[in-house]
Amino acid sequence: MKKFLALLLALVLCCGVACAQAATLTPDDLVGNWYTVYEDVIPIYLLLNEDQTFEAVIPADLPIEEKSFDGTWDFDGAALTLHCADKDIPLTLDGIAFVGELFGLTVELHSEYMEDILEVLVAMDDSPDGLELN
């Protein structure tokens, strides 16, 4: 029961942090690597630079014509827009992930922040009184 309550508390705290972060995100908070793994097989990377330029990359061995593209980006507090030479790509904020379409695939992009949360949960599982995540 203690472990269940600890897990519940950890999830509530993660959700609270995610909501608070989403409500106060600025463009500076978005700088860095964003990623997803489409259908558990295809890694897709998005690098947002400080000068508000970006590069999106998908592995070269896939049958997709455009393997990477770049441009500029802006963030209005709720949506990230990637401005390419021939189109704008809107990505909406959903908790701590951006959801939209890249390379013709519907994706959910996560930042390194999500990895930090997972590392904390795994570390808690390693401690004697930690959570069991199985």
Task: Please provide the DSSP assignment of 70-115 as one string.
Answer: EEEEEE-SSEEEEE-SS-EEEEEEETTEEEEEETTEEEEEEEHHHH
> Domain coordinates of the chain in residue numbers?
2-126
Q: Residue 82's pLDDT band (boundaries 50, 70, 90)?
A: very high
Tell me the pLDDT tens digit for each residue of 32-60. Answer: 899 888 777 778 889 999 999 999 888 76
Tell me the pLDDT tens digit for each residue of 12-23. Answer: 555 444 444 445
At 11, the amino acid letter reads: L
Predicted TM-score (pTM) of this structure: 0.64
Residue 64 has pLDDT above 80, yes or no: no
Q: What is the CATH number of domain 2-126?
A: 2.40.128
Per the listing, tokens 């599982």 go with 125
